[in-house]
Amino acid sequence: MWENLILDVQDGLAFVTLNRTKQLNALNEKLAVELGECADKIIQEQDKIDVVIIAGSGDRAFVAGADIGEMLRMDPQQAIAFARLLHQTNTKLDSLPQPVIASINGFCLGGGNELAIACDIRIASDKSKFGQPEVGLGITPGAGGTQRLPRLIGPGRAKYMDYTGEIIDAKTALEWGLIDILVPEAELKDKVLAVAKKIQSQRRFAVRQVKQCIRLGKDAALEAALEIEVQAFSMCFTHPDRTEAMGAFVNKSKK
């Protein structure tokens, strides 16, 4: 269906594979558009898909950044359109109803790191490498590296990554909170699957409410954010999952 990515839905899990192996899955305009279209499809299929898993094809990279050859030919107006496109795609993934896991094996650089931080959970292999090397190319990060990144790991470490362009290893990424789980390369697929299935085994409506609470609340003032939580909590009391799950617990404990 798409030239640069594969969507495979199995047992309620959507596996999205960025498929430009020879270019280390570098994000060109086409791939960014296709990823947005894929997100639309995942929204349409939200009754059938519980968790989304994004990975790079091959064993060398998640994504080695935006496509440098394509950017070399851009004028300032085209650069605005490209940055907006990457933002739209990342925001679409961030706001999907389903939790999104980035499964990272190898290079996770520039626009790739920015894509990973738009996902809900990052699980990486021990051979992964992270960085925002844009300043070395004479540009700023253009897909969240100056905005989402400091919100995730704090301004000091984000500035360090953005100013130096240094590539950091997976252990440092874990210490800095850039990734959430670190595993040996051979265990990556199993770990990602186990986390996805663990989420899938919970009550879908409640999981989706949690995602929206954290997403909408994280940049709001605390009072407003706590009210978002109150409303989501109350919404769960309109859903049959709650009566069923609580009823099952109470009835079981009576036996």
Minimum distance from residue 27 beta carbon to ligand CAA (Å): 7
Minimum distance from residue 130 beta carbon to ligand CAA (Å): 11
Binding residues for ligand CAA, per CB under 6 A?
23-24, 26, 64-69, 86, 107, 109-111, 114, 133-134, 137, 141-143, 145
Distance CA 25, CA 93 (A): 18
Nearer residue to ligand CAA within complex by CB, 65 or 99? 65
Minimum distance from residue 109 beta carbon to ligand CAA (Å): 4
Beta-bridged to residue 122, according to DSSP, are: 102
Check: CB of residue 108 under 8 Å from CB of residue 128: yes
Q: Which of 29, 37, 70, 134 is catalytic?
A: 134
Q: Which amino acid is at 74?
A: M
Q: Which of 3, 114, 175, 187 is catalytic?
A: 114
Q: Residue 131 is encoded by which pair of tokens?
A: 């960085």
Minimum distance from residue 71 beta carbon to ligand CAA (Å): 7
Residue 45 annotated in active site: no
Residue 134 annotated in active site: yes
Check: CB of residue 106 under 8 Å from CB of residue 146: no
Q: Which of 136, 134, 137 is nearest to 114 (CA)?
A: 134
Distance CA 214, CA 196 (A): 18
Nearer residue to ligand CAA within complex by CB, 107 or 176? 107
Nearer residue to ligand CAA within complex by CB, 86 or 158? 86
- Dihedral sign for Cα atoms in the order 230, 231, 232, 233: positive
User: Which residues have a catalytic role annotated?
Assistant: 114, 134
